[in-house]
Structure 1
């Protein structure tokens, strides 16, 4: 018998994870969301995965463009995480960003930036799993990561 949603959330909330923002665009439309379900998949070829709720407005744009970017956030980027976790209509309003080689919004000051091409889309319950082939990666100078644990942001220095 499967566990209930409350037990599932309480259980996995005890798994410390990094915080990422996934961005994409198709034409003039942009989308972005905060994602903690992110993982490396393969070294050869270089693959990662992100899990995105099927209700997300980003799904249609990722499916149309077949590209997305992942920003691994630093501990100084709590506001950015909260911005992209919100239900705001235009999460990019007033935000300074560039476009990546694939046209994805590229947010400033991320710990890591990964520009990806969709390799696979897997239907998994109430989420889709997107496997991305990393085409470009940028790693910032040494910064501390933003960590999420038990319903809140944490620092590795605590």
Structure 2
């Protein structure tokens, strides 16, 4: 099967949008990702998938920690900034939780230490042990078939 067919099939799975953040040598770094899931309640573990060509791969390998920032519906521009879709130079605003940079006003900031990692094809799967969580009210930013979206008002009961 060709790569486009596979990508199209994976695009049929609607997801939320996250920005993965970490810090290395005093500098905050982030990348947009939708490959995120919870893994375990005891211990509290989550999983992210980072491509072998992503600059973030080495940064997480070196720092040993990361945060998953689940974006709110009004944060599409934040996602686009960290996905490299906004070309003009902009500085992102970060808050900090347990000395890890996090995205301001995200629906959730989930701060993790790397628990384990596994190379899988052209990605590395990082399992993170959750150290802290901050939650906010709001609606999620969604991603489906390569496009941003949000839940309809009636779906947020």
The answer, yes or no, to whether TM exceeds 0.5 is: yes
Local SS of the residue matching 2:148:
strand
1:18 to 16, 23, 48: 16
State the Cα deviation string for residues 76-126 of structure 1 (Å, max 9, x = none): 0000000000077998x432222221x321111000000000011110111
Q: Which runs of 5+ in 1 are unaligned?
A: none
Aligned length: 153
Equivalent residues of 1:31, 1:57 under 8 A apart:
no
Local SS of the residue matching 1:114:
strand
- Partner of residue 59, structure 2: 61
1:108 and 1:98 mapped to 2: Cα distance?
6
Equivalent residues of 1:97, 1:107 under 8 A apart:
yes
2:91 and 2:5 mapped to 1: Cα distance?
39
- Partner of residue 72, structure 1: 70
What value does the CA root-mean-square deviation take over the aligned residues? 1.9
1:72 and 1:11 mapped to 2: Cα distance?
23
After superposition, residues 87-106 of structure 1 pair within 5 angstroms as 93-101=90-98, 103-106=99-102
Query: Could you say if the C-alpha distance between residues 90 and 99 of structure 1 is closer, same or farther in structure 2, counting changes exceeding 3 Å?
Result: farther
2:102 and 2:88 mapped to 1: Cα distance?
15
1:154 has 2:152 as partner: no
How far is the alpha carbon of 1:28 from its aligned partner? Answer: 2.2
Query: Could you say if the C-alpha distance between residues 155 and 106 of structure 1 is closer, same or farther in structure 2, counting changes exceeding 3 Å?
Result: same
After superposition, residues 1-158 of structure 1 pair within 5 angstroms as 3-86=1-84, 93-101=90-98, 103-141=99-137, 143-157=138-152
Equivalent residues of 1:30, 1:61 under 8 A apart:
no
Higher strand share: 2
Stretches (4+) displaced over 3 A: 87-91
TM-score in terms of structure 2 length: 0.91
Q: Which runs of 5+ in 2 are unaligned?
A: none
